[in-house]
Structure 1
């Protein structure tokens, strides 16, 4: 189920420009697409998907498959609201797999069958690991959020694998990307639980969870529940973002509505009720969390500061609210990523022996 909704392409460029160029696309190429796009949903010249896809096809023809995958990733952004977006995702995967032999890490794609409600669901995952990684190393499961998915986050995931000397299992959170089920709090947690159990069989039994944006919600949830040995929440909503009403900025209401499985543009009331069910308050009231690192930008328009600061004072928890930057501290990512790497490496290596298998 999916739907289109009014969305100003110029606003998206304004909000995401830093992310577009910081993930590896040449500034001149991004600027050219920005100048050409006039409409989010148009299927011809000036349309978001056609203009980004033209850039991507040029990269593909030149054999620059990783750049093509990045550009097709922006073509399908921010969600799979129509057939054109779904076609762009399929082409992104095609180019990503063509680029894989040239990655700086070993790469393998698997499709897992994980427990879901009364049955199961397929979950495609990408495994990235340093070459000749010893078998007795930790594993990190990782995801982006509702609009930036596992292939979009490749550079960060590869860096985590190399710097930490771990195997990274990358996935799309429910309701996004290659997921075939809607995003719900309990259903999503069940799928993440299945991923954690699988990850414990791939290394020494120690598992960390890194989540970015809405993925940070799920990593915070697994950390608060004590299901992993370390959890990093970068820019994830926790409580206040869910209870203050439906999201509104930069088309986020439509992005979230699609992820939740609506087949029409929901009213604020229709969106607020399922959104409120995500609140982590029941877990925040407990005291059994794994070691956690919670980070966000102080100027985030999507996630209020309270959703970061609510973790202050918890045992085994470090909190950082970065000034002068917004959602997921993206404009200061070169400063934030080393903090994440240092904390996660230290925490995984010091994980209690009883959790190792």
Structure 2
């Protein structure tokens, strides 16, 4: 199920431009695509997918497969609402795999059959690890959010693997990317539980969870429930984003509506009814959490400050609301990412020491 909706491509460029260029695409190429695009859904010249795919095709022909994967990643953005977007995702995966021999880490792709509502669902995952990683190291499961998926955050995942010296298991949260099922709090959490169980078999048994944006919602769940040994929540919603009925900006209403599984533009009331079940209040009222790090920008237009500050005062929980930056503190990554790596490294080392007989 999927649908198109009214979204202003110019607004998306205004919000996402820094992300586009900071992931490695040349500024001149991004500017040229920005100037050419006139509409989100047109499949001919001027269409978002068409112009980004044209850039991806040019990179692919030149053998620049990592750049091609990034460009096709923007071609399928913000969600797989039509066949053109789904074809762009397929081309992104093709180029990403062609780029893999040049990664700075060992790479392997697997498709897991994980428990889901009485049956199983196929979950493609990417495993990244330093080439000389010992077998007795922790595993970190990691995902992006509702519109930025596992291949789109490759650079960050590679840094995570090499700097922490861990194996990273990257996946798309339910309702996004290569997921075969819609996003829901219980179904999505069940898939995460299956990934955690699998990850415990891949290293020394210690598992951390990094979630970015809506992925942070699921790392908050696994951390609060004590399912993992350490959890990092980067820009994740927790409670207020789901219960206050605020407006969803920059096309986020359609992005989330598609992820949840609507086949039409939902009304605010329909979205609110679905959102209510996502609140983490029942888990916030418990004292079962693993060590957690909660980080977001103070100026986030998508996730209210309260969803970060609600974690203050909890046992084994560090909270960082970063000033003068927005969603996921992206513009402050040069400071934020080293801080996350430092915290994560210490938390995983502590968990490893406790796990030793």
TM-score range, shorter chain: over 0.9
In the alignment, structure 1 residue 320 sits paired with structure 2 residue 320? yes
Question: What is aligned with 2:212?
Answer: 212
- Tell me if the contact between 2:138 and 2:352 (Cα under 8 Å) persists in the aligned partners: no
Q: C-alpha deviations, 1:96-149, integer Å up to 9, x for none?
A: 000000000000000000000010100000000000210000000000000000
Deviations 1:43-66 (A, max 9, x none): 111000000000000000000000
Separation (CA, whole Å) in 2 of partners of 1:194 and 1:337? 27
Indicate yes or no: 2:115 matched with 1:115: yes
TM-fit CA distance, 1:352: 5.6
**Residue 13 of structure 2 corresponds to which residue in structure 1?**
13
Answering whether residue 191 of structure 2 is matched by residue 191 of structure 1, we say: yes
- Secondary structure of the residue aligned to 2:211 is strand
Give the alignment's TM-score, normalised by structure 1.
Answer: 0.99
Distance change in 2, residues 1:356/1:198 (3 Å) = farther
What residue is the counterpart of 1:227 in the other structure?
227
Measure the CA separation in 2 of the matches of 1:257 and 1:335: 33
Partner of residue 285, structure 1: 285
What secondary structure is seen at the aligned counterpart in 2 of 1:350? helix
For residues 1-357 of structure 1, the aligned pairs below 5 Å read 1-245=1-245, 247-351=247-351, 353=353, 355=355
Aligned length: 357
Instruction: Flag the 1:355–1:121 CA change in 2: closer, same or farther, 3 A.
Output: farther
Does the Cα contact within 8 Å between 1:204 and 1:356 map onto a contact in 2?
A: no
From the superposition, tell whether residues 247 and 190 of structure 1 become closer, same or farther in structure 2 (CA, over 3 Å): farther
1:237 aligned counterpart, secondary structure: coil
CA shift for structure 1 position 282? 0.2
- Give structure 1 regions of 4+ aligned residues with deviation exceeding 6 angstroms: none
Structure 1 residue ranges without an equivalent (≥5) = none
What's the RMSD between the two structures over aligned residues?
1.0
Residues 325-352 of structure 1: per-residue CA shift (max 9 Å, x gap): 0000011111100000000001001106
Q: CA offsets, 1:29-48, max 9 Å, x none?
A: 00000010000000111000
Distance 1:275 1:40 in 2: 26
Structure 2 residues not aligned, in runs of 5+ = none
Give the TM-score of the pair, scaled to structure 2. Answer: 0.99
- What is the CA distance between 1:275 and its match in structure 2? 1.1
1:125 & 1:58 partners in 2: Cα distance?
A: 27
